[in-house]
């Protein structure tokens, strides 16, 4: 979101969201997949509790990585527009 905010200040909210997601999307998606795979390894352990926990966390991380960060958040920022950055800083008199 920091990159999107920087780009939005220069080129507008819609273009900033697109450019920010284009630049940082691959890195964030890769990190999410690695994290999900790490927790997914717990799913092959013989302990039922750890297997269930590993599956649940891996599924949650994948859901966050693939749906929330790539589709939901950019769509909400696009719909809300410039108001999404409120409050950014206090005004001085």
pLDDT at 72: 95
pLDDT at 43: 87
> pLDDT tens, position by position, for the chain (93 residues)?
888 888 988 999 899 999 999 999 999 999 999 999 999 999 888 999 999 999 999 999 999 999 999 999 999 998 998 888 887 775 666
Contact residues for 25 (Cβ-Cβ < 8 A; gap 6+): 70
pLDDT at 85: 84
Instruction: Provide the angle, in degrees to the nearest 10, between the axes of the packed helices 13-40 and 73-80.
Output: 160
Per-domain residue ranges for the chain?
2-78
């Amino acid at each position: 979101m920091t990159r999107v905010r920087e780009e939005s200040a220069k080129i507008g909210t819609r273009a900033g969201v697109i450019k920010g997601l284009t630049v940082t999307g691959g890195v964030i998606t890769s990190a999410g997949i690695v994290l999900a795979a790490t927790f997914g390894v717990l799913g092959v352990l013989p302990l039922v509790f750890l297997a269930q926990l590993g599956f649940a966390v891996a599924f949650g991380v994948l859901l966050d990585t693939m749906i929330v960060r790539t589709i939901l958040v950019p769509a909400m920022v696009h719909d809300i527009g410039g108001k999404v950055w409120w409050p950014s800083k206090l005004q001085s008199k």
